[in-house]
Structure 1
Amino acid sequence: MKQDKVQDFEKKVQELEKDLKALAGTIDRVEDEKLVMQNQLKKALADYSNLERDIEKRVELRSLQTKISIARALLNSLDDINFALVNSEKLDLNDEAKKWIEGIKATLFDIEKAVAQFNITKMDVKKGDKYDSNMHEALATVPEGEAGMIYDIVQPGFVLGDIIVRPARVVISQPKNN
């Protein structure tokens, strides 16, 4: 009887060892699955973070494009008003017309303020500066002075940080052909 009990005990120990090995295998498999899921989660979080950055960049780019588009439209209005004001100085205007011109100047000032709110600034271009095709648009040449220098500024250029909203439109000098 003792012998039977010992055999039963040994049999139960073997069954428990077998169950323990099965449980250890299950634990290993679950640990492996856990690692796979952790890696997938890390990858998903990294992808999400990259997506957020990409969306943020796209929003910034779209905002910049919108600012530039609005600025270009405003700059065209600025040019028209400036042209009208410059030419109005050549006219013999009565007092009422001069008041009207002052109103136009106030409107011009408001448009310039609106452009400035977009951080758009006028390029610092002067006669005698070296022509740079990245910043200037040559409209004509004159056979005077040193070659490749700005002879006259037809229309000012504007920038938004490092981005050229509109190049300065200029006349450049070239040597005379003898």
Structure 2
Amino acid sequence: MSDFNKDEYLNDLPDMDDLSGQAAPAAASAADGASADSAAAAAGATQEGAAQPAAAQSQENGDSAAADGADKADAADGKADDTLTPLGQAKKEAAEYLEALQRERAEFINFRNRAQKEQERFRQHGIIDVLTALLPALDDIDRIREHSEMDDSFKAVANKIDKAFEKFGVEKFGEKGEDFDPTKHDAILHKPDLNAEKETVDTVVEAGYRIGDRVIRAARVVVASPQN
């Protein structure tokens, strides 16, 4: 076994500066890798954290926009008049006034028609009242005409009365020889007649009067009836 030489051993050891130079880059590379990983993780966390509030904010903004749209739609109807131009507002008011005027005109026409019908009905009632009150005098005039001679002055008065009633639509009916009609004749006597083929008016006792289709008084007559 040879003797240990301290100087040779120390000379064979690698230089510390070389060792420190080689270790430093490795450590630096490791440190840089760790820093890069840490930075990437931090950036990812930052981006993920930022993405979540951004998404929530976007959803919140969408909901707010929808609510605002609904509110604006509801308010649009109430504020439609405010958005019209002066000419458009004037046209709208004119259309409303025209519609109201047309309704009023229709109601007035209906009222006028009802009033006219009421007036005509009251007029007929007045004529009927006057005619009913004068019926006895008219019957006396008819008897005088049938059974005696009338002077010219009395005949003129009777004719004026007849024309006056004709003017108000009063029609006198009931003639000898016409067919018997129970709707307008009041038979006070039925007399058998060998020559009669059907019931006919033989004698007019009192003339009948009507206004239009309304019979005021039926004619009172003697009816000739077939014997069989």
Same fold (TM over 0.5): yes
Give the partner amino acid of 2:114.
Answer: D
1:132 Cα deviation from its structure 2 partner: 0.9
2:114 alignment partner, one of 42, 54, 66 = 54
Richer in helix (by share): 2
- 1:141 and 2:190 are equivalent in the alignment: yes
CA distance in 2, matches of 1:66, 1:121: 16
CA RMSD, 1 decimal: 4.1
Give the partner amino acid of 1:134.
Answer: T
Instruction: Give structure 1 stretches of 5+ with no counterpart.
Output: 1-13, 90-97
2:136 alignment partner, one of 76, 89, 94 = 76
Instruction: Give structure 2 stretches of 5+ with no counterpart.
Output: 1-64, 83-92
Q: How many residues align?
A: 149
TM-score by length of structure 1 reads 0.60
1:151 alignment partner, one of 202, 215, 219 = 202
Give the partner amino acid of 2:110.
Answer: N
Give the secondary-structure state (helix, strand or coil) at the position aligned to 1:174.
Answer: strand
CA distance in 1, matches of 2:201, 2:147: 24
Give the partner amino acid of 2:223.
Answer: I
Give the secondary-structure state (helix, strand or coil) at the position aligned to 1:143.
Answer: strand
Q: Report matched runs for 1:91-130 at 5 Å.
A: 102-123=152-173, 125-127=175-177, 129-130=178-179
Q: Highest relative contact order (Cα 8 Å, sep 6+), 1 or 2?
A: 1
Q: Which has the larger radius of gyration?
A: 2
Give the partner amino acid of 1:78.
Answer: L
Give the partner amino acid of 1:83.
Answer: R
1:166 alignment partner, one of 210, 217, 226 = 217
